[in-house]
Amino acid sequence: MSSANLLGQSSTALAKSLARLSSGSKITSPSDDSAGLAVSMKLNAQISRTNAAQSNVGNATSFNQTQDGYLQKVNDALNRMSELSVLAQDVTKTTSDRSLYNQEFSTLSTYVGDVATKDFNGVSLFNGNTLSVTSDSDGNAFSNVGVNLGNTTYTAATGSSIDSVANAKTALTNVKAAINQLASDRANIGSNIESLGYYNDQLGSLSNNLSAAKSRITDVDVAQESTNYAKANILVQSGTAMLAQANSAPQSVLRLLG
């Protein structure tokens, strides 16, 4: 009976060791480490939330980079519009010449107005709204400052004309103001991207460290568990042999009596 009990214990240890090695986890049932299981579940949930927040930050970064990509071309357009405004003030130019300048000026104004309508996955890029970007696993948010290409500074520039010297002077003033506003807006976008980069690095580091902490609780130590498996396997084999020998002892006594 003693041999049978010991063999049962060895068999249980062998099965548990085999389950750990095959699953890669040292907690194959709540009874293995109930406290560790509880902690690992909370860590796993926080890791998932952290990774989701990092995804949100990454998408917000792409949003800002898309904004800046458009604004780079708007900058080129405004620069050319300011150049045309100066060219139209040339006293040696005729009304016909200014009409040609004005045509290009108007085309560039239309382009800037078209950019103002662009969106990113259905979210307007240039309506000026400040977006709240999830910055951690607890749902705290970073205020992503928006850009409004529809404000009066931009519309005054795009609504100007350079068909006369007087209008060209007014247009130049308006376009210069728009360029100054654009410089401020692009600086804000740069600040957004920089801050989001810090949040992204922070979340990545947190996710890695949480994963390491969870791993120490749940992941099996293959070297140690392989040793445990070998030990339990030997004990099962020897226990089986000893149990067989113990079962044969009564037969020897019977032969002596016979």
Q: How would you label 132-160 residue by residue, b for 16+ Cβ within 10 Å and e otherwise?
A: ebbbbbeeeebebbbbbbbeebbbbbbeb
Overall average pLDDT of the 87-112 stretch: 95
Q: What is the pLDDT of residue 170?
A: 96
What does the pLDDT read at residue 40?
Answer: 84
Rg (CA), the chain: 37
Question: Residue 221 — pLDDT band, cuts 50, 70, 90?
Answer: low
Residues 116 and 39 sit within 8 Å (Cβ to Cβ): no
- Locate the domains of the chain by residue range: 1-24+222-258, 32-219
Report pLDDT for 226: 73
The residues near 191 (Cβ < 8 Å, ≥ 6 apart) are 145
Question: Contact, 71 vs 185, CB < 8 A?
Answer: yes
The pLDDT tens digits for 107-160 are 999 999 999 999 999 999 999 999 999 999 999 999 999 999 999 999 999 999
Rounded-to-integer distance, Cα 61 and Cα 50, Å: 16
pTM for the model: 0.79
Tell me the per-residue pLDDT of 3-50, one tens digit each, with 9 for 90 and over: 677 667 766 766 676 666 666 676 667 766 788 888 888 999 999 999
The conformation of residue 129, written as its DSSP 8-state character, comes to P
For residue 41 the two structure tokens come to 């579940």
Q: Cα torsion at 105, 107, 109, 111 (round to 10°)?
A: -150
Look at the domain 32-219 and name its fold: f41 fragment of flagellin, N-terminal domain (1.20.1330)
